[in-house]
Structure 1
Amino acid sequence: MTSQRTVPEPRVVVAGGHSAGHIEPTMNFADALCRLEPTARITALGTVRGLDTTLIPARGYPLELIPPVPLPRTLNPALLRTPGKLRDSVRAAGAVLDRVRAEVVVGFGGYVAAPAYLAAHRRGLPIVIHEANAQPGVANRLAARLTTRVFTATADVRLAHATAIGIPLRPAITGLDRPAQRDAARRRFGLRPDGPVLLATGGSQGARAINVAVSGAAPALRAAGVQVLHITGPQHTVEPPYADGYVVVPYVEEMAHAYAAADVAICRSGAMTCAELSAVGLPAAYVPLPLRGGEQRHNAEPIVAAGGALLVDNADLDPAWIETTLLPVLTDPARIAAMSGRAVAAGAPDADVVLARHVLTAIAERRR
């Protein structure tokens, strides 16, 4: 692998904007690159349309805005309007690449990725792709024809030249010692130190189906001695069914604390969620969002196949499913321990560093 001093002051442009699912792995990679090469100059491309202007500056990286180009997944009238928008966005992305004297573009999909890829290709710059989702987006499918440096979350992702490395995660997640932090994490949320804890979360916005099913199963959970940490999402309200051992919060800023407090999670199966829970060894009941062609189901399937998780369709999730299927897991410490080990085996905690080293190698090869 490339040593730290082989590539002085690498100049990198990252493109992974719009959603937290794109931005988070982008920033985690950037952090890892800076740990390997403290002199690295990283510039992020983004748009005003998503979370870019909020999440990227908060991580301390310069942000350059370009016009968004959402590429339609199917033939529709929006496709006819795309060429002109794409041309303007490619021109804006190219101006950024020239101004910062970029040596490589690292893309993670999203609205800014396609213009960045095309601008880099026109300048003969190396392109490195990371695809976090089981079903690649249009931008990354396009770019996979322009480069052989393609990296994915799992081996099941269908992209040319792809190498599976996992998803870049924060060290706070990959370095989490759940057993060591369990008592402190439970005190943080007002939970008892003893007995199993179920973490219920529907992601940053919450999920009504999960909220209804878990709160509806509260009597059975309480009778079995199971505590609940229920993250409802800021737009949802759930009244705690009981005061002792059922904690309701709208949002948790640092999910590592919630993971440390829990024994099992019930949650959506976004790519980042699946990667984080595998990295920390937290067994889960995944409830895929029933949209976008079942993309979230594909994210969870490798972990389920490894024995680290359960899978339930959104339409089948109700209090009865929790009582008959999930509750026996929650009350079986041996099964929880086995699932935890299998979840860890399905994870990839060093993806951020692995990707950073590949990027440094791409720069070194270009300089030669």
Structure 2
Amino acid sequence: MHVVLAGGGTAGHIEPAMALADALRRHDPRIGITALGTSRGLETRLVPERGYHLELIPAVPLPRKPTADLLTVPGRLAGTVRQTAEILDKVKADAVVGFGGYVALPAYLAARRRGIPMIVHEANARPGLANRVGARLTPYVAVSTPDSKLPHARYVGIPLRRSIATLDRGAKRAEARAFFELEPDRPTLLIFGGSQGARRLNEVAAATAVDILRAGIQVLHAIGPNNELRLDLPDGLPPYRIVPYLDRMDLAYAAADAALCRAGAMTCAELAAVGLPACFVPLPIGNGEQKLNAQPLVRAGGGLLVDDAELTPDWLRRNLIPLLTDAERLAAMGKAAAEFGRRDADEELVRMVLEAAGKVVEGETR
């Protein structure tokens, strides 16, 4: 069996694809995996690092909404679909799994042209154009939120890295706090804004740092590799650890009692899966998808939600500091997050791939 994964561009598309690739190989090491991508995306680095074969196709940017630009897509798309179909022929693909982004639509159209079963995975609450098209071409549609309006949607969650999906925060806590040079028994706040950081979160956290620390809370803050944050803190306060980037997100989650973060689909899925309460501050640009990503988890009781414009030092003093100093409330929110989260999305998606490819009959592998 050979599976082609189309999920290039951003880490939000690539990481779920790689998690599925790992799960497929765990299921059967003989399964062939080919990833589709473009030369402009992170997949040129991330896919080879994970040990999978990458085929490149030309990027065809898609408008996020139906506009006049949409009329030019078929002409630009035709050559890319032809090249993609040739790749499917070369690897003798049995199934195509798309995760959205530039490469997904050509993959869906090429798979349809060749009669190859396809599976759509949508990580965001508000799907992009490629997955809206793909979901109309197949009955196999996996989504990350129970609120999805895509046709044929099955709520499976987002495939996660095994280090996250299998994380026991309590068992790893002592190791994690030692790793980041944090004190072992203090309430701990994790602040991060995605791989590039978030300037708004950095600024508000810096303005509130002394208040947070005087409340007995220590902080682990990933500011982003291109950002700077200098704090003038009095002596004798708990640690405030500043790092440019977190290579060990599993240990960061294990060290923390709560998080202050953006609300990307992967962030929401990981925090729910590991049962870490969070204050979500959706990115204020784009189509509002980050707020939609966080809302189901917040409704379930696993987090707080505040608009970017309303995130102020005063808001943190009134909301986040009391949360971090209330162990009972933290435990209840963590339990609610964990009950909402999905740790087995990779295995669920494997079953859907096998089903689509005709490799499963009544739940048994042929």
TM over 0.5: yes
Judge conservation of contact 1:71–1:138 (CA < 8 Å) in 2. Answer: yes
Deviation at 1:88, TM superposition (A): 1.0
Which residue of structure 1 lines up, in the alignment, with residue 74 of structure 2? 83
- The CA deviation string for residues 39-89 of structure 1, in whole angstroms up to 9 with x for no partner, is 000000000111110111111110000011111123545434322220011
**CA shift at 1:295, angstroms?**
0.5
Alignment partner, residue 290 of structure 1: 284
Q: Distance in 2 between matches of 1:304 and 1:196?
A: 21
Amino acid in the other structure paired with 1:163: R
Distance 2:277 2:75 in 1: 47
Quote the Cα distance in structure 2 between the aligned partners of 1:59 and 1:78.
36
SS at match of 1:364: coil
Which amino acid counterpart does residue 295 of structure 1 have in structure 2?
E
1:63 and 2:51 are equivalent in the alignment: no
Map of 2:196 onto structure 1: 205
Is 1:237 matched up with 2:231?
A: no
Equivalent of 1:317 in 311, 315, 327: 311
Cα contact 2:144–2:157 (8 A) shared by 1 = yes
Q: Distance in 1 between matches of 2:232 and 2:333?
A: 29
Aligned residue for 2:87?
Answer: 96
Asked if 2 retains the 8 angstrom alpha-carbon contact of 1:239 and 1:248, the reply is: no
1:292 offset after TM fit, Å? Answer: 1.7
Where does residue 3 of structure 1 map in the other structure? Answer: none
User: Against the structure 1 CA distance between its residues 263 and 18, is the aligned structure 2 distance closer, same or farther, given a 3 Å change threshold?
Assistant: same
Q: 1:181 aligns with which of 172, 175, 178?
A: 172
> Sequence identity, in percent?
56
Partner of 1:330: 324
Query: Which stretch has the larger CA shift, 83-92 or 73-82?
Result: 73-82
| Code of the aligned partner of 1:238 | L
Residue in 1 that maps onto 2:148: 157
Residue of 339, 357, 364 corresponding to 1:363 = 357
Residue in 2 that maps onto 1:226: 217
Q: 2:112 aligns with which of 121, 124, 129?
A: 121
SS at match of 2:228: coil
Q: Structure 1: 5+ residue runs without aligned partners?
A: 1-9
Partners in 1 of 2:239 and 2:319 — Cα distance? 21
2:127 aligned partner: 136
Deviation at 1:366, TM superposition (A): 9.7
Which segments of 5 or more consecutive residues in structure 2 lack a partner in the other structure?
Answer: none
Rounded to whole Å, the distance in 2 between the matches of 1:259 and 1:363 is: 36
Correspondence 1:263 to 2:257: yes
Give the whole-Å Cα distance in 2 for the aligned partners of 1:165 and 1:291. 27
* 1:13–1:104 Cα contact (<8 Å) kept: yes
Structure 1 stretch displaced more, 185-194 or 110-119: 185-194
The reply on whether 1:274 has 2:268 as its aligned counterpart is yes
Q: Which of 6, 11, 15 matches 1:20?
A: 11
Helix, strand or coil at the partner of 2:332: helix
| Matching residue's letter, 1:255 | M
Contact 1:229/1:247 (<8 A) preserved: yes
Given that 1:240 and 1:248 are in contact with CA atoms closer than 8 Å, whether structure 2 keeps it comes out as no
Contact 1:144 1:159 in 2 (8 A): yes
Kindly provide the amino acid, as one letter, of the partner of residue 83 in structure 1: P
**Per-residue CA shift, 1:99-136, capped at 9, x if unaligned?**
00001101111100000000000111101111000001
Residue 307 of structure 1 is matched in structure 2 by: 301
Which whole-Å CA distance do the structure 2 matches of 1:190 and 1:258 have between them? 12
- Structure 1 stretch displaced more, 177-186 or 259-268: 177-186
Amino acid at match of 2:265: A
Query: Contact 2:65–2:129 (CA<8 Å) still a contact in 1?
Result: no
The residue that corresponds to 1:339 in the other structure is 333
Encode CA deviations 1:307-334: one digit per residue, 9 max, x unaligned.
1100000000111111111111000000
TM-score normalised by length of structure 1: 0.95
Find the aligned partners of 1:28 and 1:291 in 2 and give their Cα distance: 28
User: Counterpart of 2:181?
Assistant: 190
Contact conserved, 1:240 with 1:247, CA < 8 A, in 2? Answer: no
Q: Is the 2:143–2:155 Cα contact (8 Å) retained in structure 1?
A: yes
Which secondary structure state, in structure 1, belongs to the residue aligned with residue 279 of structure 2?
Answer: strand
Task: Specify the alignment match of 1:4 in structure 2.
Answer: none
Contact kept? 1:126, 1:366, Cα under 8 Å: no
In the alignment, the residues of structure 1 paired with residue 276 and residue 66 of structure 2 have an alpha-carbon distance, to the nearest angstrom, of 40
| Contact 2:258 2:278 (C-alpha < 8 Å) held by counterparts | yes
Equivalent residue letter for 2:104: A
Distance in 2 (CA, whole Å) between partners of 1:189 and 1:253 is 12
Report the CA distance between 1:22 and its aligned residue: 0.3
| Deviations, residues 154-203 of structure 1 (Å, cap 9, x unaligned) | 11111000010110001110111111111111111111001101000011
Which residue number corresponds to residue 157 of structure 2? 166
* Whole-angstrom distance in 2 between the partners of 1:241 and 1:174: 38
